[in-house]
Chains A and B, each alone.
Chain A
Amino acid sequence: KAGVTQTPRYLIKTRGQQVTLSCSPISGHRSVSWYQQTPGQGLQFLFEYFSETQRNKGNFPGRFSGRQFSNSRSEMNVSTLELGDSALYLCASSLGWEVEAPRGTEAFFGQGTRLTVV
């Protein structure tokens, strides 16, 4: 079955602009999480959506927002871009609830969107 698809793969934006990243989870998965990866801070959790509702949020400013659609696809938006927002943004897909088999908690990642802010 198809994996997690993130678009676009690469993006170059100017400081002050806004950007929208997209993530299509594995079919049947209802949880989508977003992570930011930078050399200095490593992998940091942004937020998680389940059935169109934000369930968890990390410690990021309000410029970072997201949403999830009824088909579980998710978008992440960053407004008023700063140079420090340059990073690899990764999306993870999970079933989203505990199931009998431990596989329910596994998270599968997309290839990421590499955002460069200049």
Chain B
Amino acid sequence: AQKITQTQPGMFVQEKEAVTLDCTYDTSDPSYGLFWYKQPSSGEMIFLIYQGSYDQQNATEGRYSLNFQKARKSANLVISASQLGDSAMYFCAFRGGSNYKLTFGKGTLLTVNP
């Protein structure tokens, strides 16, 4: 079974600074996808970024980028120029093969300080 690990229960960052949220995974699937979601206190899960296992380049979406190191089985999220509105829970999720089930990590609570 796949396993997703987010080792940082909480992170603090100053406004306008960059922050890296860690995510490692364990799988034997040759084809898989990795996702990052943001969940504000309202509860909605907001899709941020996706990385496919065969993608040659690291994914980027605006201020979000994914540092994908396939050999190390890590998919860290980098948020550049943090904003106060970035304060939320962040979840890393894994999808393997043709299975559309997402397996989530425990999440990291990010707090952006002014």
Contact = CB atoms under 8 A, between A and B. Distances in A.
Nearest to A92: B102
B43 A48 contact: no
A88 interface: yes
Given A94-B100, A96-B100, A98-B98, A107 B43 contact: no
Contact of B44 (A43, A55, A106, A111): A111
B68 interface: no
B90 interface: no
Question: Which residue among A31, A50, A88 has the maximum number of chain B CB atoms within 10 Å of its CB?
Answer: A88
A48 B44 contact: no
A16 B95 CA distance: 34
B47 interface: yes
B13 to A, nearest CB: 23
Nearest to A111: B44
Contacts of A58: 101
A114 B43 contact: yes
Contacts of B106: 42
A56 B101 contact: yes
Interface of B: 33, 35, 37, 42-47, 50, 52, 55, 91, 93, 95, 98-107
Q: Give the 5 A-B residue pairs with the shortest CB-CB distance, closest first.
A: A109-B45, A43-B104, A111-B44, A112-B43, A45-B101
